[in-house]
Structure 1
Amino acid sequence: MTGSSAGDLPPPPYRAGEKPRRSLGREAIAREALRIIDAEGIDAVSMRRVAAAFDTGPASLYAHVKNKEALLRLAFDLALEELEPVPVAADDWQAVMLRWSLGVHEMLQRHNDIAKLTFAHIPSGEAMLESTERVLGLMIGAGVPPQVAAWSLDILSLYIGADAYEGWLFGQQFGTDDPVEAEAFFGGIKDYFASLPADRFPYIVGNVAALMEGGGEERFRFGLDMFIAGIASTITR
């Protein structure tokens, strides 16, 4: 039996005991940035920090991304690829829009404070373009006026991002493991409302229970239902 011996093999591109270098590329860079976001938040991301994960310097990253801002947007576009694809056609466009909105919200919640990147930014990655195209198509195909459909997506994205980011802020303020502090905070607000002069604030005092009822997810879903119902009300045919 013949074959190459160990001495015939070319030397590896790294010394024994060393890990091979990870190859640079836009997707690899985005995944590293997203990993840092998940672990420490978006403020922990830097060109130097990401480059170090590839055993290189920041200058090497500039061949793939322009700056830190572009790097964060690339990571955000990568996170959007986790979304469930929107069907091209559906009998119930409202159910599809609700499921898609909930999916975006859940994705934002999975990735630390990435919801902050939804503001002053219009995602243009392929995943978001596909989703936008199909949601627009479902709404317009159902009779929603094109201008209403277009503006609705813009305002809906603000609502989803703002709610997810506020949820993250509350998580930072109260923690996620022990709800006692959060219960004490909201309990204090409830007691304060109840203690207001009833002659000056009759509706607040008389409806404290209604004002304080429901958790964050329940209130978010309520807002989505109202929003989608409002879009549906513009269909005239």
Structure 2
Amino acid sequence: MPTDPRQRRAARHAQPDATAEPAKPRRAPLTLERITDAALQVCATEGYDALTVRRVTAILGTGPSSLYAHIVNRDDLDDLIIGRLCSQIVLPEPDPATWRQQLHGVLTQLRDLYLDYPGVSRAALATVATNLETLRVSEGMLAILLAGGVDPRTAAWAMDALALYTAGYALERSLVERRRHREGDDWVLSRDELVRRFTALPADRFPHTAQHATELTSGTGHDRFDFTVELILNGLTR
């Protein structure tokens, strides 16, 4: 840089050399945060089935070897994305008077986060909880159950059952939506059509299905989610 003030001023006012090659922008450093962002972007736009190391590196503009400097393997991506989702869950201060509602609220948050990223709950089904954010949610759920008077072993098994159901529910919804978009709406029968088909079944072979077709097809998906969660919670302290 020129030391003379007049030369420095002239340099500031000088027009750029049109023949010079433009400076290449510096690439942002690769971090676990950026890797997780890219992995979730794939899940949100293309679905969990499209999540691969190569797909993530394509978004980041780098190569697999660069990614493996930060993660162990493809399964490590599962740990990162579930940890990121769990970091968004708000845990209440355990209250013995409202512990059922509190736990239901945590599971609803988890369900909705899974549904934002189609198929991502498969990662939760196959991931051992070691991520600190995942463990934070597990710790919070256990604290709520213990505050409600549930004994520790029952609380531990109930957490497993509730987490499994929530992940399975979200996975089923994502699979239905994927098939709907791939094949159109024709394959999805309306509730009225299901009732018509059930009631038309031979009464001698399907007496209960035909008689209770309305009940069998009642409620939305979330209605049934709420029912199942409450069914489990209400049975814990009996």
Give the TM-score normalised by the residue count of structure 1: 0.84
**In the superposition, relative to structure 1, how do residues 16 and 79 fare at CA in structure 2: closer, same or farther (>3 Å)?**
farther
- Work out the CA distance in 1 between the residues paired with 2:62 and 2:208: 62
Misfit runs of 4+, over 4 Å: 2-8, 178-181
Please tell me whether the aligned partners of residues 114 and 167 of structure 2 are also in contact (alpha carbons under 8 angstroms). yes
Bigger shift: residues 157-166 or 121-130: 121-130
Bigger shift: residues 99-108 or 59-68: 59-68
**In the superposition, relative to structure 1, how do residues 6 and 181 fare at CA in structure 2: closer, same or farther (>3 Å)?**
farther
**In the superposition, relative to structure 1, how do residues 200 and 55 fare at CA in structure 2: closer, same or farther (>3 Å)?**
closer
User: Could you tell me which amino acid in structure 2 is paired with residue 232 of structure 1?
Assistant: T
Q: Which residue of 2 is the match for residue 219 of structure 1? A: 224
Bigger shift: residues 222-231 or 99-108: 222-231
SS of residue matched to 1:56: coil
Q: 2:34 aligns with which of 28, 33, 40?
A: 28
- Work out the CA distance in 2 between the residues paired with 1:78 and 1:60: 21
Provide Cα deviations, 1:137-156, integer angstroms capped at 9, x if missing partner.
22123210111100001111
Computed over aligned residues only, the root mean square deviation of the Cα atoms, in angstroms, reads: 2.5
- Work out the CA distance in 2 between the residues paired with 1:104 and 1:65: 25
Provide Cα deviations, 1:70-114, integer angstroms capped at 9, x if missing partner.
123212211221212x12332311110010011100010011221
Provide Cα deviations, 1:39-96, integer angstroms capped at 9, x if missing partner.
1122322222322333322111111101112123212211221212x12332311110
Determine if the alignment matches structure 1 residue 124 to structure 2 residue 134. Answer: no
Q: Which residue of 2 is the match for residue 137 of structure 1? A: 143
- Work out the CA distance in 2 between the residues paired with 1:227 and 1:18: 58
- Work out the CA distance in 1 between the residues paired with 2:124 and 2:228: 18
**In the superposition, relative to structure 1, how do residues 27 and 193 fare at CA in structure 2: closer, same or farther (>3 Å)?**
same
Q: Which runs of 5 or more structure 1 residues have no equivalent in the other structure? A: 9-14
**In the superposition, relative to structure 1, how do residues 7 and 103 fare at CA in structure 2: closer, same or farther (>3 Å)?**
same
Please tell me whether the aligned partners of residues 32 and 53 of structure 1 are also in contact (alpha carbons under 8 angstroms). yes
Q: Which residue of 2 is the match for residue 200 of structure 1? A: 205
For residue 174 of structure 1, report the CA deviation from its aligned partner.
Answer: 2.1
User: Could you tell me which amino acid in structure 2 is paired with residue 47 of structure 1?
Assistant: V
Determine if the alignment matches structure 1 residue 166 to structure 2 residue 166. Answer: no
Query: Number of residues paired by the alignment?
Result: 223
For residue 22 of structure 1, report the CA deviation from its aligned partner.
Answer: 1.9
User: Could you tell me which amino acid in structure 2 is paired with residue 63 of structure 1?
Assistant: A
Please tell me whether the aligned partners of residues 33 and 75 of structure 1 are also in contact (alpha carbons under 8 angstroms). yes
Which entry has the higher C-alpha Rg, 1 or 2?
2
User: Could you tell me which amino acid in structure 1 is paired with residue 33 of structure 2?
Assistant: E
Please tell me whether the aligned partners of residues 30 and 78 of structure 1 are also in contact (alpha carbons under 8 angstroms). yes
User: Could you tell me which amino acid in structure 1 is paired with residue 237 of structure 2?
Assistant: A
SS of residue matched to 1:182: coil
Please tell me whether the aligned partners of residues 86 and 137 of structure 2 are also in contact (alpha carbons under 8 angstroms). no
Please tell me whether the aligned partners of residues 23 and 54 of structure 1 are also in contact (alpha carbons under 8 angstroms). no
Determine if the alignment matches structure 1 residue 79 to structure 2 residue 85. Answer: yes
- Work out the CA distance in 2 between the residues paired with 1:128 and 1:153: 13
Q: 1:93 aligns with which of 91, 99, 102?
A: 99
> What does 1:141-160 align with in structure 2 at a 5 Å threshold?
141-160=147-166
- Work out the CA distance in 1 between the residues paired with 2:10 and 2:209: 82
SS of residue matched to 1:231: coil
Q: 1:113 aligns with which of 92, 95, 119?
A: 119
SS of residue matched to 2:60: coil
User: Could you tell me which amino acid in structure 1 is paired with residue 159 of structure 2?
Assistant: L
- Work out the CA distance in 1 between the residues paired with 2:99 and 2:54: 45
